[in-house]
């Protein structure tokens, strides 16, 4: 027997909302779903009129629905936002390559511009290669740390005011539980914030913070949105799995517990006498970090030195590993430099494009490449390029051909990534 | 294997790693207990403490530890006057009887008396508005809410009795295993802002009586060894219903603890660092069931606002919903919208528990 929609619109209900238990017809569900996100955006002060906003798009259900709803609401309520898609290609064969095809379809469907950054270009490593080094354990650490920074880099390139991510209520509840189980008090403190980011960083906002995962799936299904639904092939071993399993069991008993957990997270605070890591910028890459050198740099350094476990576990261990490594390397560096001088500088006769470079062909990292021709980039990007551009000499030293003069910034930065793979004198 | 304190042969292993002989183990447990009381400096000489005993293993060990410390004649003597309390009427009759018998025998052994109070017959005097107190305890349709409610009512009764007996302290026997489970349950039920009082060493919500948890550094594993060596009996005290949030969490913690033994201590250490987000709480009203502050957040938008907006919108209150979005109307009365039985003197979680218990049709 058909049940009538609870809003009293007269139509037959087609679904029972997981969030409230109310039965609704398709149209009322769409309206409720979208208006709730609108409510979150308005009450949470997420955007300002005229902002350029990057939607972090993976091709999965959350980001697809986010892009679709933001576009709809932007038109309906006249937010005046300039929306664009930003994707990160981790280089996971059989997962990301397929999902990126979905993102490209979204780009065409929603008429938004799309920027794709890849780990290979940024860091010189694909996730496939990283997993080969580190194994199936701890690989999510690399992926997560690199993606976080990659999004920051992408946002700086796109010159946007903020990044909107597709984290839904289930994700956040899961994160709260996981951070308690792991005792990660710093993350516990900020994981329920709807907008994160301090001065000097590009804030991230979560418009789907109060949206149930199940309703996102339903919305995508009834709206016939195209999304990619395979789980990452490397993910099953992650610690997050424990928290996810617990949340699923709890949700069966009391569906409202997802919101209750978020409420708990919002109403509790870390005691004042507990010392927390302060946020600052990494001394090497100038991106957000809680340490002198950020996790991404440590992990990358570990990969490049053949010590993939460097960033995993205690920092005292990392120090010991590095000391041993440096002792070994010192001699071979000296030898290499001698040999290099003897063999006539390869870069000889070619002018250094970056101007400020003082490098004489020796392996060193005190070069300051800062000629930036692309004026449309904002200051942040310029600053970043200052740090990331390496002079041609070093590229040659490391056996990689220099980038073409006319190429975009993006690829110039890419050069850094691949060069980083071979530079050996970077001191910690 | 050798005992890690003396060189005699170890008779037991804690976490499969640390070996002890019986004597060293007993003094180790006693030291942990006394250190927990000592470092928190909440006890003054001549305090009168109400020991709340269920008959389960942790309360039996608590009783033993306190009675031994009190009867010492050295400078280490614990200078408090213990008063024993056992609450009946929460379990089935046969279990009740076994519990009572056991506690009576024990109190005789320690040369003291135990006070028994039946929760169903108790005449509430001091607490303001608890006329609804015991009518829900027999219900079974919602085990999660029932367990939550039972715990709160029990705690209220502790305070009542403590006041009556002129005790200024209450000792309860939660181990770190129980506390880890309680922390997660608290979080899952929305009591995040109450963690400090519900899990910490001292619950200071009642201004006259402090509730202390001196067993919080001991684990169930350690209690079992202690009981075995001292030949103490206890009544099995797990009556948690299978289909409740509390049971799911307790199973989860047990399982995770087996595979990664640091789980419970990590969770408890996290709990020690948590407080409430509300800044100015002096003016705040207090929940009449759990005594927590009602104003617990500073921000304009919390999960309660979001879910009450969802409720509003999917029950057809569309015109109001639009006005709320355009800031013409405030999303107040949100809690009333969520819970038909909401009482203005209850916090979010207690309102929820109360509503769910009242709603017997589900």
| B294 plus B153 within the same structural domain | no
Give residue A249's pLDDT.
Answer: 93
pLDDT (mean) for B302-320:
82
- Closest alpha carbon to A295 in A189, A423, A150, A190: A150
DSSP letters, B209-252, are: -EEE-TTTT--HHHHHHHHHHHT----------TTSHHHHHHHH
pLDDT higher for B103 or A419? B103
* From B256, B307, B313, residue closest to A32, measured CB to CB: B313
Identify the residue whose tokens are 């942990």: B32
User: A118 and A91 in contact (C-beta within 8 Å)?
Assistant: yes
Instruction: Establish if A4 touches chain B: CB-CB under 8 angstroms.
Output: no
pLDDT at A189 over 80: yes
CB contact under 8 A, B267 and A272: no
| B59 plus B203 within the same structural domain | yes
Give residue A91's pLDDT.
Answer: 86
User: B53 and B85 in contact (C-beta within 8 Å)?
Assistant: yes
Q: How many CA atoms lie within 13 A of B245 on its CB side?
A: 28
Q: How far is A147 from chain B (nearest CA, A)?
A: 27
Q: What residues of chain A lie within 8 A of the CB of B296, using their CB?
A: 267
Give residue A424's pLDDT.
Answer: 31
CB contact under 8 A, B256 and A181: yes
Give residue B74's pLDDT.
Answer: 82
Domain count, chain B: 2
User: A106 and A145 in contact (C-beta within 8 Å)?
Assistant: no
User: Is residue B357 in some structural domain?
Assistant: yes
Q: For B293, which residue in chain A has the nearest alpha carbon?
A: A267
User: A55 and A86 in contact (C-beta within 8 Å)?
Assistant: yes
pLDDT at A219 over 90: yes
Contacts of A60 (CB under 8 A, 6+ apart): A99, A166, A227, A228, A229
| B116 plus B169 within the same structural domain | yes
Identify the residue whose tokens are 């206890």: B234
* Residue A428: Cβ within 10 Å count: 16
pLDDT (mean) for B264-285:
79
| B123 plus B170 within the same structural domain | yes
* From B187, B266, B303, residue closest to A183, measured CB to CB: B266
| B325 plus B252 within the same structural domain | no
pLDDT at A90 over 70: yes
pLDDT for A106-137, tens place per residue?
A: 899 889 999 999 888 888 888 888 888 887 77
User: Which residues span the domain enclosing B219?
Assistant: 21-272
User: What is the CATH classification number for the domain harbouring B62?
Assistant: 3.40.50.620
To 10 degrees, what angle do helices A139-158 and A379-388 make? 130
Is the four-CA dihedral B168, B172, B176, B179 of positive or negative sign?
negative
Q: How far is B217 from chain A (nearest CA, A)?
A: 17
| B168 plus B298 within the same structural domain | no
Least confident of A306-310, B55-59, B66-70, B264-268: A306-310
pLDDT higher for B268 or B236? B268
User: A392 and A402 in contact (C-beta within 8 Å)?
Assistant: yes
pLDDT at A410 over 80: no
pLDDT at A138 over 60: yes
Give residue A405's pLDDT.
Answer: 36
Which of B216, B251, B272 is the endpoint of a domain? B272
Distance CA B264, CA B240 (A): 20
Which of B241, B272, B303 is the endpoint of a domain? B272
* From B190, B256, B263, residue closest to A264, measured CB to CB: B190
User: Is residue B6 in some structural domain?
Assistant: no
User: Is residue B12 in some structural domain?
Assistant: no
Which range has the top average pLDDT, A2-16, A271-285, A292-306?
A: A2-16
pLDDT band at A373 (very low <50, low <70, confident <90, very high): very low
| B184 plus B96 within the same structural domain | yes
| B230 plus B99 within the same structural domain | yes
Instruction: Establish if B313 touches chain A: CB-CB under 8 angstroms.
Output: yes
Give residue A179's pLDDT.
Answer: 92
Give residue B343's pLDDT.
Answer: 60
* From B263, B302, B325, residue closest to A266, measured CB to CB: B302
pLDDT (mean) for A210-216:
94
Q: For A24, which residue in chain B has the nearest alpha carbon?
A: B314
pLDDT for B199-224, tens place per residue?
A: 988 998 888 899 999 999 999 889 99
Give residue A234's pLDDT.
Answer: 75
Q: For A264, which residue in chain B has the nearest alpha carbon?
A: B192
| B219 plus B309 within the same structural domain | no
User: Is residue B141 in some structural domain?
Assistant: yes
Which range has the top average pLDDT, A137-141, A414-418, B143-147?
A: B143-147
Q: What residues of chain B lie within 8 A of the CB of A250, using their CB?
A: 188, 245, 248-249
Give residue B215's pLDDT.
Answer: 92
CB contact under 8 A, B316 and A253: no
pLDDT higher for A19 or A383? A19
Q: What residues of chain B lie within 8 A of the CB of A267, using their CB?
A: 192-193, 276-278, 296-297, 302
Q: Which domains does chain A have, with CATH numbers?
A: 47-267 (3.40.50.620), 278-339 (no CATH), 344-428 (no CATH)
Give residue B125's pLDDT.
Answer: 63
Total CB pairs under 8 A between chain A and B: 166
The SS3 call for residue A219 is helix
pLDDT (mean) for B269-280:
80
Least confident of A329-338, A341-350, B119-128: A341-350
pLDDT band at A284 (very low <50, low <70, confident <90, very high): confident
| B303 plus B199 within the same structural domain | no
pLDDT higher for A393 or B17? B17
Distance CA B37, CA B43 (A): 8
User: Is residue B13 in some structural domain?
Assistant: no
Give residue B83's pLDDT.
Answer: 92
- Closest alpha carbon to A72 in A228, A223, A227, A226: A223
pLDDT band at B317 (very low <50, low <70, confident <90, very high): confident
Contacts of B177 (CB under 8 A, 6+ apart): B219, B220, B253, B257, B264
User: Is residue B298 in some structural domain?
Assistant: yes
Give residue A391's pLDDT.
Answer: 44
To 10 degrees, what angle do helices A139-158 and A295-304 make? 120
Instruction: Establish if A265 touches chain B: CB-CB under 8 angstroms.
Output: yes
pLDDT at A251 over 70: yes
CB contact under 8 A, B303 and A9: no
User: Is residue B47 in some structural domain?
Assistant: yes
Q: What residues of chain A lie within 8 A of the CB of B324, using their CB?
A: 39
pLDDT band at B283 (very low <50, low <70, confident <90, very high): low
| B157 plus B218 within the same structural domain | yes
Give residue A375's pLDDT.
Answer: 42
Count of positions (residues) in chain A = 428
pLDDT for A291-328, tens place per residue?
A: 788 888 888 888 887 777 777 766 667 777 777 777 77
User: Is residue B224 in some structural domain?
Assistant: yes
- Closest alpha carbon to A179 in A76, A96, A262: A262
Q: How far is A306 from chain B (nearest CA, A)?
A: 29
Give residue A277's pLDDT.
Answer: 76
pLDDT higher for B251 or A288? B251
| B54 plus B164 within the same structural domain | yes
pLDDT for A38-73, tens place per residue?
A: 999 998 889 999 999 999 998 889 999 999 999 999
Q: How far is A230 from chain B (nearest CA, A)?
A: 27
pLDDT for B9-36, tens place per residue?
A: 888 888 778 889 999 999 999 999 999 9
- Closest alpha carbon to A63 in A84, A48, A45, A81: A84
CB contact under 8 A, B267 and A183: yes
CA distances from A234 to A96, A98, A143, A171, A385 (A): 11, 15, 10, 18, 32
pLDDT at A363 over 50: no
Tell me whether residue B63 is exposed, middle or buried, using C-beta atoms within 10 angstroms of its C-beta: 0 to 12, 13 to 18, 19 or more: buried
- List b or e across A286-309, with b for residues whose CB sees 16 or more CB atoms inside 10 angstroms: bbbbeeeebbbbbbbbbbbbebbb
The SS3 call for residue A118 is strand
Instruction: Establish if A42 touches chain B: CB-CB under 8 angstroms.
Output: yes
Distance CA B230, CA B226 (A): 6
DSSP letters, A377-413, are: S-HHHHHHHHHH---HHHHHHTT-PPPPTT--HHHHH
Least confident of A216-230, A236-250, A336-350: A336-350
Give residue A210's pLDDT.
Answer: 94
pLDDT at A336 over 80: no
Which of B272, B289, B324 is the endpoint of a domain? B272
Instruction: Establish if A246 touches chain B: CB-CB under 8 angstroms.
Output: yes
ipTM here: 0.90
User: A85 and A68 in contact (C-beta within 8 Å)?
Assistant: no
> Considering chain B, what is the average pLDDT of its residues?
83
């Amino acid at each position: 027997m058909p049940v009538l929609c609870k809003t009293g619109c007269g139509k037959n209900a087609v679904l029972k909302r997981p969030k409230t238990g109310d039965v609704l017809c398709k149209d009322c569900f769409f309206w409720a779903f979208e208006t709730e996100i609108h409510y979150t955006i308005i009450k949470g002060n997420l955007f300002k009129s005229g902002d350029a906003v990057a939607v972090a798009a993976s091709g999965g259900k959350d980001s697809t629905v986010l892009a679709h709803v933001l576009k709809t609401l932007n038109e309906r309520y006249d937010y005046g936002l300039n929306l664009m898609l930003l994707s990160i290609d981790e280089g996971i064969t059989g997962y990301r390559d397929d999902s990126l095809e979905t993102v490209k379809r979204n780009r065409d469907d929603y008429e938004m511009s799309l920027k794709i950054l890849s780990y290979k270009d940024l860091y010189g490593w694909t996730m496939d290669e990283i997993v080969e080094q580190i194994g199936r354990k701890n690989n999510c650490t690399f992926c997560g740390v690199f993606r976080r920074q990659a999004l920051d880099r992408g946002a700086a390139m796109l010159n946007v005011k903020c990044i909107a991510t597709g984290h839904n209520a289930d994700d956040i509840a899961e994160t709260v539980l996981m951070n308690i189980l792991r005792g990660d008090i710093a993350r516990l403190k900020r994981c329920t914030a709807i907008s994160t980011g301090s001065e000097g960083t590009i804030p991230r906002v979560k418009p789907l913070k109060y949206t149930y995962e199940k309703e996102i799936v339903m919305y995508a299904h009834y709206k016939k949105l195209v999304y990619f639904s395979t789980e990452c092939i490397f993910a099953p071993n992650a610690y997050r799995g424990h928290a996810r399993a617990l949340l699923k069991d709890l949700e069966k008993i009391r569906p409202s517990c997802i919101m209750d957990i978020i409420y708990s997270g919002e109403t509790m605070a870390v005691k004042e006498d507990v010392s927390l890591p302060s946020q600052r910028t990494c001394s090497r890459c100038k991106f957000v970090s809680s340490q002198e050198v950020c996790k991404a740099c440590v992990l990358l350094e570990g990969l490049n030195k053949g010590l993939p476990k460097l960033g995993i576990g205690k920092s005292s261990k990392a120090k010991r590993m590095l000391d041993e490594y440096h002792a070994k390397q010192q001699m071979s560096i000296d030898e290499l430099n001698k040999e290099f001088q003897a063999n006539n500088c390869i870069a000889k006769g070619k002018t250094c494009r970056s101007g400020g470079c003082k490098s004489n062909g020796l392996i060193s990292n005190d070069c300051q490449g800062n000629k930036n021709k692309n004026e449309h980039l904002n200051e942040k990007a310029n600053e970043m390029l200052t740090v990331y551009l390496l002079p041609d000499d070093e590229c040659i030293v490391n056996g990689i051909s220099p980038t073409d003069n006319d190429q975009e910034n993006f690829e110039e930065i890419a050069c850094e990534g691949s060069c980083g793979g071979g530079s050996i004198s970077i001191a910690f | 294997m050798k005992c890690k304190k003396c060189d005699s042969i170890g008779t037991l292993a804690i976490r499969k790693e640390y070996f002890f002989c019986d004597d060293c183990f007993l003094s180790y447990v006693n030291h942990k207990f006394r250190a927990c009381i000592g470092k928190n400096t909440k006890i003054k000489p001549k305090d009168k403490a109400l020991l709340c005993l269920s008959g389960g293993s942790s309360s039996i060990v608590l009783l033993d530890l306190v009675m031994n410390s009190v009867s010492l004649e050295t400078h280490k003597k614990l200078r408090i006057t213990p008063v024993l309390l056992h609450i009946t009427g929460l379990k089935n009759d046969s279990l009740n009887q076994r519990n009572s018998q056991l506690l009576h025998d024990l109190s005789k052994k320690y040369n003291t008396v135990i006070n028994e109070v039946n929760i169903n017959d108790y005449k509430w005097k001091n607490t303001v508005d608890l006329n609804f107190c015991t009518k829900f305890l027999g219900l079974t349709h919602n085990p999660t809410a029932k367990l939550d409610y039972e715990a709160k009512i029990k705690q209220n009764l502790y305070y009542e009795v403590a006041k009556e007996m002129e005790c200024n302290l209450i000792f309860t026997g939660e181990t770190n295993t129980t506390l880890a489970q309680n922390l997660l349950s608290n979080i899952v039920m929305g009591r995040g802002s109450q963690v400090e009082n519900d899990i910490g060493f001292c619950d200071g919500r009642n201004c006259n009586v402090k509730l202390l948890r001196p067993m919080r550094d001991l684990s169930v594993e350690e209690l079992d060894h202690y009981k075995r060596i001292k030949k103490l009996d206890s009544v099995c005290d797990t009556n948690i219903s299978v289909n409740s949030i509390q049971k799911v969490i307790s199973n989860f913690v047990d399982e995770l603890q087996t595979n990664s033994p640091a789980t419970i201590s990590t969770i408890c250490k996290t709990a020690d660092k948590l407080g409430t987000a509300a800044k100015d709480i002096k003016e705040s009203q207090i929940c009449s069931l759990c005594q927590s502050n009602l104003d617990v957040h500073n921000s304009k938008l919390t999960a309660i606002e979001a879910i009450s907006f969802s409720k509003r919108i999917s029950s057809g209150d569309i015109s109001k919903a639009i006005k709320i979005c355009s800031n013409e109307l405030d999303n107040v009365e949100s809690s009333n919208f969520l819970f038909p039985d909401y009482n203005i003197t209850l916090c979010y979680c207690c309102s929820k528990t109360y509503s769910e218990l009242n709603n017997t049709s589900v």
